[in-house]
Copies of this chain bind each other. A is one copy, B any other.
Amino acid sequence: MPHLPSLRAEELRSYHAQIRQRYDAFARRGVKLNLTRGKPSAQQLDLSNDLLALPGKGDFMAGAVDTRNYGELQGLPELRALLAPVFGVTPDRLILGDNASLSLMHDAVVYSLLKGACDSERPWSKESRIAFLCPVPGYDRHFSICQELGIEMIMVPLLSTGPDMDAVEKLVAADPQIKGMWCVPKYSNPSGAVYSNETIERIAKMKTAARDFRVFWDNAYAVHHLTSERIEIANIDEACARNGNGNRAFIFGSTSKVTFAGAGVGCFAGSKDNVAWYLKRMEKRTIGGDKVNQLRHLRLLGNTDGIAKLMERHREIMAPKFMKVLETFTEHLGNTGVAQWTEPKGGYFITLDVLEGTAKQVVKLAKEAGVELTPAGSTHPGGNDPQDRTIRIAPSFPPASEVELAAEGVVLSVLLAASEKLLQK
């Protein structure tokens, strides 16, 4: 692999012509591949197919609770007991919501806007302005909630150890209108970054000008390992409590990428006061969640070991796809000087950073060659990546064979866009 930025003009022209040829040849194959969505594959969903006939005829009681009827606002105690340890809280501090944690995050923001958090002076909507810190690259659906609800987004860099805490600490100490920060602390979307113990301690400890500051702790990939390492991160709830900021963390997660992506169980967890506050709002909205689905999940997962075994089978399907992408990137982009990428140990995404100013063009070229990628910029607030550099790669959904081919299309698009760009200099 030549180091593109070092090539002389003539060499670059010849390299570009050659890549153009390879790209055109790829495009002529007329493939239709998709690396856009962090969706589990059909093969992964098959792992939980028992859910389709669960809880099973005659099975609807959970202790004294008839799961078919109204009630149990907080969710079935048995399933709470099973899932609470995943999020580092006791079962009384876990709420089971609808089928998606995204809804719970959205509602936590909405409730804070309309009513204020449990320690707010007033509803956030009564403030002149509200801002959230957004580590980038990050998850577009977090940013969409802010955009929809008129919350200003302040970017901070996401390092391999978590958000740049020097920047975060300075910002939250100075500005009382910064009320929140989005965090995917483990196998982050999309870089795969894992927050270090030090980062988590600093988040829990930092002085915030807003006394009702909240960390939106989206632990979406708590058990979604891609290696045998099974990384555990520090317990944010415990750290906040220890530092006298017990109400700081709103914790979220779900079984969406454990069982069925559209039909799982979402979770909210937090301090006693946060949970009481959330339930108080939630009881205006619903008489209770879908307890039959909660029972269904209890029957399928059984116990902590059941979750671990299921996730191990997910890994067997997912890991080879990630390997294919990483191998292809290494083989064709290694030492080219126009791309770097993350090697996540869990989660659903790889972040590919291409030559500055070419991410949009890469996505366009890939699409024209039959490989759909997440729109460039979607990793940043407002869909605007100021360096036009970051691309989110989602290898989970297509079959392994297609992933390799798709990665080839990406590689050719990266090299073509980069050589075009360098030629313009």
Residue positions of A touching B, CB distance < 8 A = 37, 39-40, 42, 45, 48-60, 66-72, 98-100, 102-103, 106-107, 110, 113-115, 125, 141, 144-145, 148-149, 256, 260-263, 281, 284-293
Contacts and interface: CB of A to CB of B under 8 A. Distances in A.
Contact of A70 (B72, B261, B289): B261
Contacts of A67: 262-263
A114 B124 CA distance: 12
A42 to B, nearest CB: 6
21 contacts: A49-B60, A50-B57, A52-B59, A53-B57, A68-B260, A69-B260, A69-B262, A71-B262, A98-B286, A99-B286, A100-B286, A100-B287, A102-B286, A102-B287, A106-B284, A106-B285, A106-B286, A114-B125, A141-B284, A262-B291, A290-B290
Contact of A148 (B45, B54, B57, B281): B281
Contacts of A110: 110, 114
A71 B261 CA distance: 9
Contacts of A49: 57-58, 60
The 7 closest A-B pairs by CB, nearest first: A263-B292, A68-B260, A106-B285, A45-B68, A148-B284, A99-B290, A263-B290
Given A42-B66, A49-B57, 6 more contacts: A53-B53, A53-B57, A100-B287, A106-B284, A106-B285, A293-B293
Contacts of A50: 57
Nearest to A115: B148
Contact of A45 (B58, B69, B286): B69
Contacts of A291: 262-263
Nearest to A98: B98
B98 A292 contact: no
Contacts of A288: 262
A407 B344 CA distance: 65
A285 B108 CA distance: 11
A72 B99 CA distance: 14
A282 to B, nearest CB: 9
Nearest to A40: B69
Contacts of A292: 51-52, 260, 262-263
Contacts of A289: 99, 262
Nearest to A99: B290
Nearest to A126: B125
Contacts of A72: 262
A48 B54 CA distance: 14
Contacts of A106: 284-286
A39 B285 contact: no
Contacts of A48: 68
A265 to B, nearest CB: 10
A268 to B, nearest CB: 14
A48 B292 CA distance: 12
A262 B285 contact: no
Nearest to A110: B110
Contacts of A102: 285-287
A115 B292 CA distance: 34
Most buried by B among A60, A281, A285, A292: A285
